[in-house]
């Protein structure tokens, strides 16, 4: 049953969350904008064009920054709410009335759980929609300039790598294709002077790359995987997921993909090259659990000493936030380096923080 006091505490948490969210996101935008102001003002169109470019650029990066800071923002909001309740002596009357501390802070934990749940929704629904904007340069909003491509693997095992890409027309200069050993023709290499990606459609020559100026000009039967000859020096390469965006983003293109796309990629034929994707997939599953455990740990540490100053409580909260990043990013780095298996790299933070959070929560004075 939600009481009036519960609604007051929940409203206080929502207010703290809004303040922390706005402060941190605005701080990032202001610092980054003044650091790279020349990239926006030195363009035709004057102030209106610069303002439009700024809004478009940072509007797409707000979800990305929120994705990186969602759990620390919830932690800061929860600990600030509890600290101000202590400072204003809001806990003492309820304790005197026989209401345990754990019952008092229940709305804070409920609000933190809802706030942490926003991070997976942002990852699955928002970031994939703005992924194209996230890979664009500040000084090239239209994608007309050549950009360096890193390359990527298709789920069929074909590797694509280019010298320069033009996002405006999905064109790659000097595209190099390597077919896997499992290909009907065995391992083979193909170089194309020019390649244009054709999005999936109704025609047979869609969902792949139209290659011109190929070397070699043709392949004897059997042809390599998904390659259709269109004449001397021309061919069409059908790909499953290696579109222009994938090749443009390079080996880490999947960080902007939804979890369902990661699962499809991990079911491909090249699992040895997908260690980082596997770590990310398992980390997304454990992320809400780890975030909530850190919130419980932070709130419990704040409640250990009711007389602690708010500034000291904020310092402890920041220390716990640093511990969150150190634990999660450290285990992810070990998993990406194949020193830990992907599931273990994702679950170690839960196994480490879980007992600490439960012990700390049990030690709260009631």
Query: Pseudo-torsion of CA 18, 332, 301, 317, nearest 10°?
Result: -40
Q: What is the mean pLDDT of residues 225-246?
A: 84
Per-residue pLDDT tens over the stretch 336-359: 888 999 999 999 999 998 998 888
Looking at per-residue confidence, does 145 or 345 come out higher?
345
Q: Given a cut of 60, is residue 154 above it in pLDDT?
A: yes
- Choice among 157-166, 263-272, 304-313, 349-358 with the minimum mean pLDDT: 263-272
Burial-class residue 272 by CB neighbours within 10 Å (0-12, 13-18, 19+).
exposed
pLDDT of residue 272: 46
Contact (CB, 8 A) for 283 and 332 = yes
Cα(150)–Cα(260) distance, integer angstroms = 24
Q: What is the DSSP string of 100-114?
A: -HHHHTHHHHHHHHH
63's CB contacts (< 8 A; 6+ apart) are 122, 126, 127, 130
Cβ–Cβ < 8 Å for 357, 294: yes
> Count of CB atoms within 10 A of residue 144's CB?
10
Percent of the chain with pLDDT over 70: 90
pLDDT at position 145 is 65
Name the token pair of 140: 């090239």
Report the predicted TM-score, pTM, of the whole model to 2 decimal places.
0.76
Model confidence at 141, pLDDT cuts 50, 70, 90, reads low
- Of 49-63, 172-186, 205-219, 248-262, give the lowest mean pLDDT range: 248-262
Q: Write the DSSP symbol of residue 138.
A: T
What pLDDT score was predicted for residue 338?
Answer: 85
Q: Note the pLDDT of residue 169.
A: 79
**Which pLDDT does position 67 carry in this prediction?**
92
| pLDDT confidence of residue 306 | 66
Question: Residue 252 — very low, low, confident or very high, per pLDDT cuts 50/70/90?
Answer: low
Cβ neighbours of residue 258 closer than 8 Å, sequence gap 6 or more: 123, 124, 125, 128
Provide the 10 A C-beta neighbour count for residue 179: 24
pLDDT averaged over every residue in the chain? 83
**Which parts of the chain fold into alpha helices (H)?**
4-35, 38-41, 46-87, 91-96, 101-104, 106-121, 131-134, 244-249, 259-266, 275-304, 310-336, 342-362
Indicate the SS3 state at residue 208. strand
pLDDT of residue 300: 87
- pLDDT grade for 111, boundaries at 50, 70 and 90: very high
Residue 150: band (very low, low, confident or very high) from pLDDT cuts 50, 70, 90? low
Residue 337: phi and psi, rounded to 5, are: -85, 5
Q: What number is the average pLDDT over the span 68-79?
A: 90
Determine the Cα–Cα distance for residues 112 and 291; give it in Å rounded to an integer.
Answer: 9
Per-residue pLDDT, averaged over 246-253, amounts to: 65
Which residue, 314, 297, 303, is CA-closest to 350? Answer: 297
**Range with lowest mean pLDDT among 37-41, 184-188, 307-311:** 307-311
**pLDDT tens digits along 284-325:** 999 999 999 989 988 888 887 766 666 776 777 778 878 888
Token duo for residue 125: 């629904």
* Among 191, 185, 209, 189, residue whose Cα is nearest residue 199: 209
Please enumerate in sequence order all residues whose Cβ is within 8 A of that of 191, keeping only pairs 6 or more positions apart, or say none: 174, 175, 176, 177, 214, 215
């Amino acid at each position: 049953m939600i009481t009036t006091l519960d609604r007051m505490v929940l409203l206080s948490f929502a207010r703290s969350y809004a303040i922390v969210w706005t402060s941190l996101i605005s701080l990032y935008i202001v610092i980054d904008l003044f650091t790279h102001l020349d990239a926006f003002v030195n363009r035709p169109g004057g102030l209106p064009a610069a303002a439009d470019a700024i809004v478009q650029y940072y509007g797409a990066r707000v979800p990305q920054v929120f994705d990186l800071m969602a759990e620390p923002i919830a932690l800061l909001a929860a600990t600030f709410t509890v600290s101000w309740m202590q400072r204003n002596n809001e806990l003492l009357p309820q304790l005197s009335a026989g209401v345990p501390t754990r019952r008092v802070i229940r709305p804070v934990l409920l609000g933190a759980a809802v706030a942490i749940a926003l991070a997976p929704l942002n990852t699955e629904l928002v970031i994939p929609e703005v992924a194209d904007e996230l890979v664009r340069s500040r000084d090239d909003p239209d994608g007309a300039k050549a950009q360096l491509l890193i390359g990527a693997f298709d789920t069929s095992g074909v590797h694509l790598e280019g010298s320069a890409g033009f996002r405006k027309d999905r064109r790659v200069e000097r595209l190099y294709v390597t077919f896997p050993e499992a290909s009907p023709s065995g391992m083979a290499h193909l170089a194309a002077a020019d390649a244009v990606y054709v999005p999936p459609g109704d025609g047979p020559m869609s969902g792949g790359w139209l290659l011109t100026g190929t070397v070699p000009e043709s392949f004897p039967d059997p042809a390599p995987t998904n390659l259709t000859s269109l004449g001397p020096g021309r061919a069409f390469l059908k790909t499953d997921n290696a579109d222009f965006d994938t090749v443009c983003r390079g080996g880490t293109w999947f960080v902007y993909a939804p979890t369902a796309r990661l699962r499809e990629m991990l079911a491909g034929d090249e699992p040895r090259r997908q260690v980082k994707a596997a770590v990310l997939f398992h980390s997304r599953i454990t992320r809400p659990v780890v975030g909530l455990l850190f919130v419980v740990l932070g709130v419990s540490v704040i409640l250990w000493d009711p007389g602690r100053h708010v500034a000291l409580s904020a310092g402890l909260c920041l220390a716990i936030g640093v511990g969150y990043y150190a634990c999660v990013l450290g285990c992810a780095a070990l998993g990406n380096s194949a020193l830990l298996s992907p599931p273990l790299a994702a679950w170690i933070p839960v196994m480490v923080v879980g007992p600490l959070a439960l012990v700390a929560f049990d030690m709260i004075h009631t």
